[in-house]
Chains A and B, each alone.
Chain A
Amino acid sequence: LTKEKLDEDTLDDLEDVLIRADLGVEMAERVRSIIAKNRYDRGASADAVRQVLGDEVTKVLDPVAQPFPAMAEKPFVWLVVGVNGTGKTTTIGKLAHRFETQGKKVTLAAADTFRAAAIDQLKIWGERVNAPVVAHDVGSDPAGVAYDGLKRAQETNADVLMIDTAGRLQNKSDLMDELAKIVRVLKKLEPEAPHGVLLVLDATTGQNALNQVELFQQVAGVTGLVVTKLDGTARGGILVAIAERFGLPVHAIGVGEGIDDLESFDAEDFARAIAGFGRENAKAA
C-alpha cells in the first residue's frame, strides 16, 4: 500500500482541532498544509493522525522550550510584565520560591502601586517565601520603587531581584511609557538591568496574545515568557503562533495558584494536549 495524502475531510478535522485550541486560522492552516504535503497514510487511524499533528506542533515549540537562564549577574534583575490579571504577582511568588530553593537570595519590589491591595498581595508572597519586599506608598512612582528595589538588592548582596509591575493593556500608550520609564531608571543604576524581562501570558487568551507579545517586546524588551492557568485549559494554542512568529523562550508554565504550581515547559506534552491527547481536547478531535 503506497502512502497517499490524507483526504480533505481529515485535514479539515485537523484544522478544526487546532482552531479550537486557539492556534488561530493562519497557524492552523500552516500546520495543515505541512501535514498535507507530507504523504501520510490515508487510512490512518484517528490516533495516528493525532500523533502526526502532535509531532508537527512539537517541531514548532521545541526551540522555545528553554529553562531559566543561569543568572550569573548579581543581582540578576527580573522585570515582570503583562496585561491585567494574567498572574504576574503569583508567578513572582512561585519563582521566588523556586530560586530560593536553589540557594539564591531573592528580593521583591512592589512596583504595582496602582491596584488596590497589590502591595499587600506581594508582601504576603514575600512572607511565604521569606523574601524582603521593597515597597513605597500606594500611588507613588513605580520607577522609584524599581530603583529602590535594585539599590536595596545591591546593598544587601541579593542574588535575584524580582520587580512586580501593574497589569496594563498593551494598547494604552501612557501605561506602556510608564514601563519604558522603569527600564530607563533601572539602567541608571545598572546599565545591564533588567537582565530578564518576563512577559506573563494567560493561557485562556485568544488571538490578542500576539499583540501583547509584540508590544511588550517593543516597549520593555521581553526576554522570555511564562504561560499561566494551564490547569484550566488544555489549549493555550496561541503559544504555537507566538513561538513561530517571535521565537521567544518559554521558561515555565503556571498550573495552579499554589506556590509549587510552576512547571517547566515541555514542548511535546503541550503539543500532545493541543492535538487532542489531553483530557479537554479528546472530544474535539
Chain B
Amino acid sequence: MFESLSDRLSGILDKLTRRGALSEADVSEAMREVRRALLEADVALDVVKDFIDRVKQKAVGQEVVKSVAPGQMVIKIVHDELIETLGRDPQPIDLAAAVPVVMMMVGLQGSGKTTTTAKLAKRLQTRERQKVLMASLDTRRPAAQEQLKILGEQTDVATLPIVEGEDPVTITKRAMDAARRGGFDVLLLDTAGRTHIDEELMAETASIEKASNPHETLLVADALTGQDAVNLAQSFDRCVSLTGIVLTRIDGDGRGGAALSMRAVTGKPIKLLGTGEKIDALEDFHPDRIANRILGM
C-alpha cells in the first residue's frame, strides 16, 4: 500500500551525482517525503515537525560521497534519529524496591491491560523467580475480574479472591495487605480501562496510585493508535507518574508511529511489546525493530 521511504528518497536524491554537500533545497525536498512516511505511520504531527527539524539540521551539509547513494544517507540519518528518539537502550521492568513491589497497569479501554498483566506476571514468575500476586481493580467491565482470575489459573499465578461490591481503592488496600501477608515479591494491579478525558475515572487512577505507591506504573497502549497517542500519553502521565509504556498488538501490520509519539512527549521508556494474544507473547523493546517498522523497512 505504501511506497517505501527508501524508494521515494532514492527517487528524489539519487539524481544528485555531484560530489559535495547536500544543499538545503535537496534536504527540504527529501524531508517532505520523510514527513509523509512518518504521518502514514501514525506519528503525531507535532512530533513529526520536531523530528523533521532535527533531521534537517543533521542532513544539511552532509557530504554526498559518490559511492553512497544520497537517499541511503538520508535514510540512515532518519533511522539513527528515530532510534535516538525511541530510546537506544532497552529499559527492563525494574524490581529494585522493597517487597512487595507494586506495578500498576493503566490505559484506554481495550488496550490490552488485563492480558499484559497476566503476561508480565508469568514472565516475572518463571524468568525472575518472583512470587507474584495479581489483582483486578476493574469493577465496571462485565466479567473483567473473572477474566484475570481465569488467566491466573492458566498461568499458575495467584490472583486476589474476588469480593463483590468493593470499590477499586478498597480492593487495592486488600491486595496490598494480601501481598504482604502472603509473602509475595510482586503485586500487579490491573485497572479498568478509561478514556483520558474522563476526569472522574482519571481521578480514580490517582487514588489507586496514592493507595499503592507503585514502583512501576505502565501505560498499556495499542500500537495501532492514531494521532491521539500524544494526548492520551500526556493525560495519563499528568494524572499518575508513568514509569514506562507497553505497546500491544505489535503482531498487527500497523506501522506503530504511536510509539514514537508517546515516547517523545512523555520521555518515558517503552519497556515491553505485546506480540500476540497468547500469554507468552511478550517481548522486550528493541528500538530498531520499531524504527524499521515506522519507516516501512
Measured CB to CB, the residues of A under 8 A from B are 16, 19-22, 24-25, 83-87, 93, 114-118, 120-121, 123-125, 167, 169-172, 202, 204-211, 229, 231-233, 235, 238, 257, 280
Task: Kindly report which residue of chain A lies nearest to residue B46, judged by CB atoms.
Answer: A20
Judged by a CB distance under 8 angstroms, whether B146 is at the interface is yes
CB <8 Å contact, B257 and A117: no
B194-210 near A? 1/0 per residue, CB < 8 Å: 01111000000000000
Judged by a CB distance under 8 angstroms, whether B122 is at the interface is no
CB <8 Å contact, B254 and A206: yes
Of the candidates B141, B151, B227, the one whose C-beta lies within 8 Å of that of A257 is B141
12 contacts between A and B (CB under 8 A): A19-B39, A20-B45, A83-B224, A84-B277, A121-B142, A167-B277, A202-B224, A206-B254, A207-B255, A208-B252, A231-B197, A280-B231
Count of chain B residues with Cβ under 8 Å from any Cβ of A?
46
CB <8 Å contact, A114 and B277: yes
Judged by a CB distance under 8 angstroms, whether B190 is at the interface is no
CB <8 Å contact, B108 and A229: yes
CB distance from B116 to the nearest CB of A (A): 12
Judged by a CB distance under 8 angstroms, whether B251 is at the interface is yes
CB <8 Å contact, B227 and A19: yes
| Alpha-carbon separation in the docked complex, A86 to B249 (Å) | 12
| Alpha-carbon separation in the docked complex, A12 to B134 (Å) | 49
Judged by a CB distance under 8 angstroms, whether B147 is at the interface is yes
| Alpha-carbon separation in the docked complex, A21 to B226 (Å) | 9
A233 contacts across to B, CB distance below 8 A: 195, 228
B148 contacts across to A, CB distance below 8 A: 116
Task: Kindly report which residue of chain A lies nearest to residue B152, judged by CB atoms.
Answer: A116
B74-116 near A? 1/0 per residue, CB < 8 Å: 0000000000000000000000000000000000111110000
Measured CB to CB, the residues of B under 8 A from A are 1, 36, 39-42, 44-45, 108-112, 140-144, 146-151, 154, 195-198, 222, 224-228, 231-232, 249, 251-255, 257-258, 277
| Alpha-carbon separation in the docked complex, A167 to B222 (Å) | 14
Of the candidates A117, A118, A257, the one whose C-beta lies within 8 Å of that of B109 is A257
A232 contacts across to B, CB distance below 8 A: 108-109, 195-198, 228
CB <8 Å contact, A171 and B40: no
| Alpha-carbon separation in the docked complex, A52 to B197 (Å) | 28
Task: Kindly report which residue of chain A lies nearest to residue B252, judged by CB atoms.
Answer: A169
Q: Please name 20 further chain A to chain B contacts, defined as beta carbons within 8 Å, in addition to the given A117-B149, A124-B142, A280-B197, sorted by A numbering.
A: A21-B227, A83-B252, A84-B112, A85-B110, A85-B112, A115-B147, A116-B147, A120-B142, A121-B142, A170-B252, A171-B252, A172-B251, A202-B222, A206-B224, A206-B258, A207-B40, A207-B226, A211-B1, A232-B109, A257-B140
CB distance from B8 to the nearest CB of A (A): 13
CB <8 Å contact, A16 and B227: no
| Alpha-carbon separation in the docked complex, A127 to B249 (Å) | 31
B110 contacts across to A, CB distance below 8 A: 84-87, 202, 229
B36 contacts across to A, CB distance below 8 A: 25
CB <8 Å contact, A204 and B225: yes
Task: Kindly report which residue of chain B lies nearest to residue A206, judged by CB atoms.
Answer: B226
CB <8 Å contact, B195 and A231: yes
| Alpha-carbon separation in the docked complex, A21 to B230 (Å) | 12
| Alpha-carbon separation in the docked complex, A24 to B257 (Å) | 13
Q: Assuming A21-B227, A25-B40, A204-B222, is B251 touching A169 (CB within 8 A)?
A: yes
CB <8 Å contact, A85 and B222: yes
